[in-house]
Structure 1
């Protein structure tokens, strides 16, 4: 265990040393990488998956069915946040995060093992939906916990830098999944892809999950949670307290997450289908363009996170919101030209705006809540907003394009999300350089004050 790396100072657990922080960051980021690895594989191979799992439909109906299954986990994601998040405040971040990564990787592997519709009939799509429901429940407690784990291990002055690796994991998982999908599509025939090729990337989730589980289990719980335990300030009624004490901050977080998730899922999950099905761009060309943009964002992630430590989180977040409001329509219009340079340029504009959010949220959101209720409040707000506006984005955009015939629908959707996010960003407190577990708070039901909050 690595608890010996945490120095005792005046009875409180001090900041962990950098080697321990790096292990904590890696273990937390792997869970997010796992989630987005699955989304990338599913969205890039959706044609092959639906051909194997669903009965014969009109191509558009089959595609909508596939996207509906993509959105299914978001129905139960809030329940995962409501159940697992408060448990992380009651029993510790480490225990819950070890559970979520096993559930996520196990259900991803299960998808790769589902027999085809030709073999077991309607049971095939039913099993797919069940596996996706398990994924949704586990991810409801994963993201808030992973962000909390990173933030509570990170030193205050570098929380933006280390927190940015949460979304580095997002893009890393996505690039790995999309890259594997591209390789399989280039090397296998369409018949082989439908028969067995699409399954292989899902099965590779097993070693990724085991590595993440191992890294998380090697560490003690976070210094902030240990400090909370030592002070006798761990909550005994986590869900009730979360809602009573944090509902304003939760609503604020939800407003910002609307833009984050609409942009994230539009760019990463829906765009491959938009380029190939709506704009008739060659599938391989579309895959490579999006992967290229994601690699650029990965290279910029840590520097932008470090920048937020210097200039604050709010300037970057408001830049993203105003940028999406002003630039989404021009970017989608340029992408709509179908030329390589136009598509690459439009994707890069949207990607860089998204980067301003991705690089800062891992350090911003955890600092909005007290240690005592942080995991639960973050998880509930994030998972509810994501359920409503994240995974549903590809389905909604596909349906709107089909009904209106307009190829600029994604731009209007992004602009609407930006309008929603601007006010929450403006009213939120600046959290850069604010220690997340050094200020005192009163334990409910007592007059005792303990240093466990993030105010």
Structure 2
């Protein structure tokens, strides 16, 4: 268990003692990171499966439409789930701030798996008619509602468990889990596509990946129920209990007003992060097959190769954010989208396999700057008592408006304008918004979370930090005395 003693109300950090500093237990940290990332793995296993099966799902549930209309309807159902994500954030976020991150994350895990499993049970359109797409929509809404509390809670959980010096690296495992889940889903669909006939995939094969959600969800629930609450939240609750009159919780509107600037920064960061994310992972397989007329298997394999390359890069960028800062890494990625989106899509549009792969790799590298840096940047925007709520709402509002709609909007833009470069222009706009947002951020690398005490890896490091803080305080006092003496003279 982490070494924790409730801190006194110190006027400044120069008065901290070693017992006021959180010493993080490394074993607990690894378990916390793994359990939090597992939820993202499962969520993106579903996304990978759905994206790679978008064409088949369109045929199963919307058989009377044209091929283009089927794809748009399939992505429209995909995007519909994102409309309820902010509602899920508004429900699960305050619960996580009131009752604990661990409890809520356990509940969202099982709810997510139920929604995914149910998709595999839905009869196709030929058997139950219009009820088939309606039930598909309902299952997606259950998924969307549960995931509304997932990412904000998982990012908060990892950030509050991490040491200040390595929060970027540990946070990047959240997106490592995202990519892993997507690859597992994509690999499963790709393998099934190569082994089964088109008729078998259309008849029953597409259901198998969704059925796997049940055992995955039960395993994730077991892992999360074994976790302890984060040290930062435990300290916050102990402080609340120590007060004679606990500070009343802010209402939703009070929170949105008080932290409006932080919320806007959160929305801006999530926008560039998720437009890049969903363009590459959800839209690109269909773009390669439906727009560029590549074979389905080739398109699936190309995107999957890029995703495999992205896994170590995500951890590398996360590590670099701890060394050089969050702002330079995320800013580099945003600037890269503005400058390189068009060249990347020109390479992809060439149709040459090597050039297509090169264009996808460029987009993948740029995306990993966000996946490596954002999970540790977002929780640092908010204080402990409202961190889960604010992050869940800000993240999901942005994802709903700009992230999950990316495949649908870009598919519609390409179909309407007949301009295959529309996705590049869309990414350039997101990159520009990302640059503006990064400019407004304060650097949070290697610093305590807002409203929390410093967190270190060992007690020796805690002693060293105390010595450093006191030394800084003495130097400031010396400078103040010198300035006072100079003014008196």
TM normalised by structure 2 equals 0.87
CA contact (8 A) 2:383 2:451 kept: no
* SS across alignment from 2:294: coil
Q: Is the 8 A contact 2:155 2:171 kept in 1?
A: yes
Q: Confirm whether residue 278 of structure 1 aligns to residue 278 of structure 2.
A: no
Partner of 1:46: 54
Please point out which of 146, 150, 154 is paired with 1:146.
154
Shift of 1:13: 7.6
Q: Distance in 1 between matches of 2:422 and 2:253?
A: 40
Whether 1:95 aligns to 2:108 is no
Contact 2:338 2:427 survives alignment (8 Å): yes
- Does residue 126 (structure 1) correspond to residue 122 (structure 2)? The answer is no
SS at 2:443 equivalent: coil
Unaligned runs of 5+ in 2: 8-19, 241-245, 454-489
Question: CA-to-partner distance for each residue in 1:225-263, whole Å, 9 max, x for gaps?
Answer: 000000006763453442233111001110121111111
Q: How does 1:247-262 map to 2 (within 5 A)?
A: 247-262=260-275
Give the SS at the match of 1:36.
Answer: helix
Q: Which residue of 1 aligns with 2:470?
A: none
Counterpart CA distance in 2 for 1:175 and 1:248 is 36
| Rg (Cα) greater in structure | 2
- Structure 1 CA distance for aligned equivalents of residues 434 and 273 of structure 2: 9
Aligned pair in 2 of structure 1 residues 307, 36: CA closer, same or farther (>3 Å)?
Answer: same
- Conserved? CA contact 1:52–1:116, under 8 Å: yes
Change (3 A) 1:437 1:295: same
Q: Show the 5 A alignment for 1:285-324.
A: 285-324=298-337
**What does 1:40-439 align with in structure 2 at a 5 Å threshold?**
40-232=48-240, 236-237=249-250, 239-436=252-449, 439=452
Greater Cα shift, 169-178 or 90-99: 90-99
Distance 1:86 1:333 in 2: 45
Which segment drifts farther, 82-91 or 179-188? 82-91
Distance 1:176 1:48 in 2: 19
Equivalent residue number for residue 452 of structure 1: none
CA distance in 2 between counterparts of 1:134 and 1:153 reads 29
CA RMSD of aligned residues (A): 1.4
Question: Could you list the per-position Cα deviations for residues 129-183 of structure 1 after superposition, in whole angstroms to 9, with x for gaps in the alignment?
Answer: 0000011111111100000000001111111110000100110000000000101
Distance in 1, matches of 2:208 and 2:100, equals 35
Q: Is the 8 A contact 2:381 2:450 kept in 1?
A: no
Aligned length: 436
| Residues 97 and 439 of structure 1: CA distance in aligned 2, closer, same or farther (over 3 Å) | closer
> Per-residue displacement from partner, 1:297-317 (whole Å, max 9, x unpaired)?
102222221111010000001
The within-5 A match list for 1:22-37 is 22-37=30-45
**SS of aligned partner of 2:4:** strand
2: CA distance, partners of 1:433 / 1:6: 19
CA change 1:196–1:178 in 2 (3 A) is same
Higher mean C-alpha displacement, 264-273 vs 87-96 = 87-96
- Unaligned runs of 5+ residues in structure 1 are 441-455
Q: Deviations over 1:35-93 (max 9, x none)?
A: 11111101101122222222321111111110100100111111111121121111111
* Higher mean displacement: 302-311 or 145-154: 302-311
Q: CA deviation at 1:10?
A: 5.6
Q: Secondary structure at the match of 2:446?
A: coil
Judging changes above 3 Å, is the alpha-carbon distance between structure 1 residues 342 and 96 closer, same or farther for their aligned structure 2 residues?
same
Over residues 187-209 of structure 1, what are the superposed CA-to-partner deviations in whole Å (9 max), with x where a residue is unaligned? 11111111110000011111221
Per the TM alignment, residue 16 of structure 1 is displaced from its structure 2 partner at its CA by: 2.7
CA contact (8 A) 2:4 2:23 kept: no
Q: TM-score, normalised by structure 1?
A: 0.93
Secondary structure in structure 2 of the residue aligned to 1:231: helix
Secondary structure of the 2:274 match is: helix
